[in-house]
Amino acid sequence: MIEVIYILCLRQLKHYWRSKTRLIGSLGQPLLFLIAFGFGIGPMYSKANGGADYINFLAPGIITMGILFTAVFSGLEVIWDRQFGFLKETMVAPISRTEIMIGKTFGGATIAIIQGLLVLSLTYLIGFRITSLGSLVLGLVFMFLIAVFFTGLGLSIASKMKDMQGFQMILNFLIMPIFFLSGALFPITNLPPAILFISRIDPLTYGVDGLRGAITGISTFGIYSDLAVIGVLSLLICAVGTVLFSKIEA
């Protein structure tokens, strides 16, 4: 079981490592956000919040962004596997669908965490700092859970998609709103009630809040409730994904 999960992970890591353009390309967006928002919105934020540092608020949000996109895309990679035929090889193998789901989730999540750490190092360029090792470890826990949840979400969606036709729709109507309304870029506390409601049912809201709480000490809901929410959701999505995978007729 462990070895099957390992080989599924290893395959994804090899794909990731071998496509250097994707690796570097995927850092462009977070870097742009850091610069544009950090320097563009930063001064306004400071003025409105009695001198509070926006970079401190923004950095966890951008790290989350890196993880979110990498994780979802890793999950959606299954659609490519299906189109190029490799999915069949995995689906006719004498392994349980749970093993496939866990293997693919860990593989995608590992890549997403690496991506998150790369973005974290980018934030150091514009002056962000994590103060203690303990915060970093706690931060990694949140990064892991965010990565697991969104890889699982990507996989679950992919198990229902036949080709990449619906990709743009998922990006614009699911992933983008999840990101922009999560409080990654601005505090959600001042949002009008209707939008706030969406933010409150957005899983990423708790991921961002938890990660921010862990590495900077700024948290709206408290990191333990964040931990509980994102932890339970991660388990749930893995269960859903396993059921969906067992129904795939590859």
Partner 1 sequence: MQNILLVQSLTKKFDDFTAVNNVSFNVETGSIFAFLGPNGAGKSTTIKMLTTVLKPTSGEISINGFNVLKEQDKARESFGIVFQDHSLDDDLTAYENMIYHAVVYKVPRKEREERIRKAFEIVGLWDRREDLVKNYSGGMKRRLEIARALVHYPRILFLEEPTVGLDPQTRNSIWSHIRNLNTERKMTIFLTTHYMEEAEAIADQIAIIDHGKIIESGTVEEIKKQTETESLEEAFLKLTGRDIRDDNNGVKPRMMRGMGRMR
Binding site for partner 1 (CB under 8 A): 3-4, 6-7, 11, 14-15, 18-19, 82-86, 88-96, 162-163, 249-250
Q: Which is nearer to partner 1, 24 or 195 (CB)?
A: 24
Q: Which is nearer to partner 1, 196 or 248 (CB)?
A: 248
Tell me if residue 210 falls in helix, strand or coil: helix
Q: Report yes or no: 80 and 162 within 8 Å, Cβ to Cβ.
A: no
Return the structure tokens found at 182.
């999560």
Nearest-approach distance from CB 235 to partner 1, in angstroms? 25
Q: Assign residue 214 a region: left if phi > 0, alpha if psi is -120 to 50, beta otherwise?
A: alpha
Q: Which is nearer to partner 1, 62 or 79 (CB)?
A: 79
| Maximum Cα interatomic distance, the chain, rounded to a whole number of Å | 61
Whole-angstrom distance, CA of residue 135 vs CA of residue 211? 9
Q: Which is nearer to partner 1, 95 or 130 (CB)?
A: 95
Question: In this structure, which amino acid lies at residue 238?
Answer: C
Measured between alpha carbons, how far is residue 84 from residues 81, 87, 151 in Å? 5, 8, 20
Nearest-approach distance from CB 162 to partner 1, in angstroms? 5
Nearest-approach distance from CB 159 to partner 1, in angstroms? 11
Whole-angstrom distance, CA of residue 234 vs CA of residue 108? 13
Nearest-approach distance from CB 6 to partner 1, in angstroms? 8
Nearest-approach distance from CB 39 to partner 1, in angstroms? 38
Q: Which is nearer to partner 1, 49 or 83 (CB)?
A: 83
